[in-house]
Amino acid sequence: MRHEKICLSPVAGVDEAGRGPLAGPVVAAAVILPARGIPRGINDSKKLSAPERARLHDRLQLCAIVGVGIVEADEIDTLNIYWATMKAMTLAVSALDCVPAHVLVDGNRLPKWDHAATAIVGGDALSLSIAAASIIAKHVRDTIMLSHAEQWPHYGWASNKGYGSPIHLAALREHGPCPLHRRSFAPVRDHDLRRTESLMSHAIS
């Protein structure tokens, strides 16, 4: 029997995490909440602590329909961060086990897709499903960056998750970028250029 996606609930909320960091992927999530049994405490992920996000992430995985889309740093450099974010959102909705009747997206722009959709500025504070998506996206991305922090400890990703903190920028100056850095982002591009010029200078001398 051919598997077909059947819509179980009409609305999916979509949000992303990781547009601003200098390293790591951009992650988007799409969430269709259940009609009953919605976990208490769902809010804009920025207003929740990491343990609260982790708890809600696990609860949502059990009771909601969840899709996640991930676009890595090298593809961000190819597409640019805007289109990479749009792709991550598209992947997240495509990963849902059903086709939503409508999609609510945090922000003022929509991906180029065939879904009926509405962009909502500040949607993570106005829509429960978007807030749920923000929790999933943030938790997934933070978990990814924590795993990378073990391989690249000097960038301080355990605390900054790839954002341009003083520790991260100091490590860029000392060590240059690693394969997980977004080389199209100015702070990384500038440090990469300086490091390349320094290496070439030493090679010539």
6-41 burial, b for 16+ CB within 10 Å, e for fewer?
A: eeebebbbbbbbbeebbbbbbbbbbbbbeeeebbee
At 198 the pLDDT is: 47
Torsion angle of alpha carbons 172, 173, 179, 184, nearest 10°?
Answer: 90
Per residue in 64-101, pLDDT tens? 999 999 999 999 999 999 999 999 999 999 999 999 99
* 3 state SS of 61: helix
**pLDDT score at 195:** 55
* Distance in Å from the first CA to the final CA of the chain: 69
Q: Which CATH number is correct for 11-152, 3.40.630.30, 3.90.226.10, 3.30.420.10, 3.40.228.10?
A: 3.30.420.10
Residues in the chain predicted with pLDDT less than 70, given as ranges, are: 1-9, 192-205
Pairing mode, strands 65-71 and 26-32 = antiparallel
CA 64 to chain CA centroid, nearest Å:
19
Could you tell me where the DSSP H helices lie in 44-127? 50-63, 73-79, 81-94, 123-126
pLDDT of residue 202: 41
What residues does each domain of the chain span?
Answer: 11-152
pTM for the predicted model, two decimal places = 0.89
Q: Binding site for a divalent metal cation: what residues are annotated?
A: 15-16, 106
Residue 190 has a pLDDT of 85
Q: How many CB atoms lie within 10 A of CB 172?
A: 24
Other CB atoms within a 10 A radius of the CB of residue 144 amount to: 21
Q: Which residues is 23 bridged to in the sheet?
A: 181
Query: Can you say which residues are annotated as belonging to the binding site?
Result: 15-16, 106
| Contact between 155 and 167 (Cβ < 8 Å) | yes
Residue 193 confidence (pLDDT): 57
Single-letter amino acid, residue 170:
A
Sign, CA dihedral 132-145-69-117, equals: positive
- Tens digit of each residue's pLDDT (9 = 90 or more) over 27-43: 999 999 998 999 999 99
